[in-house]
Amino acid sequence: MATQTLIYLFVGLSFALYIGIALWSRAGSTSDFYVAGGGVNPVVNGMATAADWMSAASFISMAGLIAFLGYDGSVYLMGWTGGYVMLALLLAPYLRKFGQFTVPDFIGTRYYSKAARVVAVICLIFISFTYIAGQMRGVGIVFSRFLDVQITLGIVIGMGIVFIYAVLGGMKGITYTQVAQYCVLIFAYMVPAFFISFLITGNPVPQLGLGSQVNDGSGLYVLQKLDLVLQDLGFAAYTDGSKSIIDVFCITLALMVGTAGLPHVIVRFFTVPKASDARKSAGWALVFIALLYTTAPAVGAFARLNFVETVDGTPYDEAPEWFTNWERNDLIAFQDKNADGVMQLSAGTAFTGAPEYSEDTGPSGERLVTNAPDPASANEVYVDQDIMVLANPEIAKLPGWVIALVAAGGLAAALSTAAGLLLVISSSVSHDLLKSTFRPNISEKGELLAARLAATAAIVVAGYLGIYPPGWVAQVVAFAFGLAAASLFPAIFLGIFSKRMNKEGAIAGMVSGLLFTFAYIAYFKLANPAANIEANWLFGISPEGIGVVGMVINFAVAVAVAKLTTAPPAHVRKLVDSIRVPRGAGEARGH
């Protein structure tokens, strides 16, 4: 069966499965819509959490970043993995014991203030829309290549699929759909990794293959050969880092604490029956997440090695089929600067910007781009980092069914997280803004309708952000983590561990942290991207890591304002004690 037919078959069957599950588990109440009725098994919830967590950034973009950044890409692995451990151990059980539907619910009740709840909703919407832009971009990339449609149309199709199972099924539908999506995405990620590791090293286990010798008789290990190959082309050694220590520290920490403030992950711990199940759920999720995260470094290294050896020095008229396939989707490009007909890959940018193709062809038959070549660079090849995982099976000449499986897996990863984020946005509007703030007398039916309308509006906005994203998929997601670190995390942390923190301090901290971080990111990524170099960064911290500074500002402002204003009322301090103290504590002493 032809590869394209297999792709249509695999993707079509996976979509039918997701929609079928959503219709079977359609939400009939607000409890079903927000937290799946609160009765999900911890193992099932762990798998759904892993799918929610492992977004397009994890499946599509993380290994691509590692492939091109090398050692510097390890910040994403360390930050996201460490952050999940922090969330599971430090916050999740306490939030579950509190027993509310949403993060704004916790903040509004803990800080006894509708204003605090509204500020939390604003922070949540900023974070979620920033995050979801990356997911929809991932959907568009997969559709554009494997289903042979434009990225914009691919995003629109993805919006329609998410609409069906997120708006109809709510959290109940999303939870069981995400279980299926996890099975699809992890199988799709691991199978080609096993194949490629065996082809390159003779060891089918990618985690071990990364530390094995290459199957070419050279006696070199994978990373040794990759270092030599890249240095011969003028690149830095793969195992060398170029980022400053402070930036590595800040990006890693921003990703870690941002994880603990991500609303679509936190809400997962409200779907299990009790607080102890939240810990079990977190543990299972970490096991499921580790399967992909321990494989990503090997996938990135194998992808870069295969890409360089396949492209550099190859005549364009002999370019492999996968190259021309991705070229048609404007995600890879070659321009023959020296008119020798041979693709030459070297350090530096090939063009002044991402390629925009014209109908003209160059002297070697290549499709020309409207962007001018970069005269300071001898590099003739442009590649979008987000294609590396998706193109890896084609580059390695794996069977068509593996390529089709990767297409289905990439869509599963992006759609699962997009659905979770959309649900968080809709519940924050219907439950936190309407039911808990502006229209407390709204009926359950009206609240459910409002949630579905809010989800529909959110899908439209998400689609727009996916079509015009402010960066690569993983970078966009990193910004969301920075915003979460600077806004929601300090409020949640202080709400659990500080009885003295009051509403004035929490509100002032969230506003100051969010505004600073958003302004910094917007300046360097949107308003003045040409200035986005280390010399212009505050303390040498990149936009990806600036959330740490925003977090420090948040903590400092919150503590200072709290000291200058009235302490929380007694019932709030008692509430904090009830969250932190285990049930039954003191009974053995007769208290």
What are residue 358's phi and psi, to 5 degrees? Answer: -105, 180
pLDDT value of residue 28: 57
Residue 506 has pLDDT above 90, yes or no: yes
Please answer whether residues 85 and 289 qualify as being in contact, where contact means their C-beta atoms are separated by less than 8 angstroms. no
For residues 252 and 78, the answer to whether their CB atoms sit within 8 Å is yes
CB atoms within 10 A of CB 313: 11
The token pair at 27 is 């939400």
Average of per-residue pLDDT across 558-571: 93
Backbone phi, then psi, for 499, in 5-degree steps? -75, -20
Tokens of 96: 């579950």
Q: Is the pLDDT of residue 175 over 60?
A: yes
User: Do 95 and 275 form a contact (C-beta atoms < 8 A)?
Assistant: no
Q: Would you list the domain boundaries of the chain?
A: 3-303+397-471
**Quick count: other Cβ atoms within 10 Å of Cβ 489?**
30
* Residue with tokens 């832009």, as numbered in its chain: 133
Of the segments 274-288, 345-359, 535-549, which one has the largest average pLDDT value?
A: 535-549
Choose among 392, 419, 386: nearest CA to 189: 392
What average pLDDT does this structure show over 363-385?
83
Residue 202 contacts residue 68 (beta carbons within 8 Å): no
The pLDDT score that the predictor gives to residue 548 is 93
Retrieve residue 247's tokens.
């930036």
pTM of the predicted model as reported, rounded to 2 decimal places: 0.79
Q: What is the pLDDT of residues 440-494, one digit of tens each?
A: 777 877 877 887 788 788 888 878 877 776 555 445 666 777 888 898 889 988 9
Question: Model confidence at 508, in pLDDT bands (50, 70, 90)?
Answer: very high
Torsion angles phi and psi, residue 361, rounded to 5: -120, 155
Pick the residue with more confidence: 428 or 346?
346
Calculate the dihedral angle through the C-alpha atoms of 445, 447, 450, 454, rounding to the nearest 10 degrees. Answer: -130
Name which residue leads in pLDDT, 260 or 185: 185
Q: How confident is the model at residue 590 (pLDDT cuts 50, 70, 90)?
A: very low
Task: For domain 3-303+397-471, say whether CATH 1.10.4160.10 is its number.
Answer: yes
Q: How many angstroms separate the Cα of 73 from the Cα of each of 62, 77, 243, 361, 443?
A: 8, 7, 10, 36, 49
Res. 579: pLDDT tops 70 = yes
The single residue listed with the structure tokens 């967590």 is: 53
Determine contact, residues 580/94, Cβ cutoff 8 Å: yes
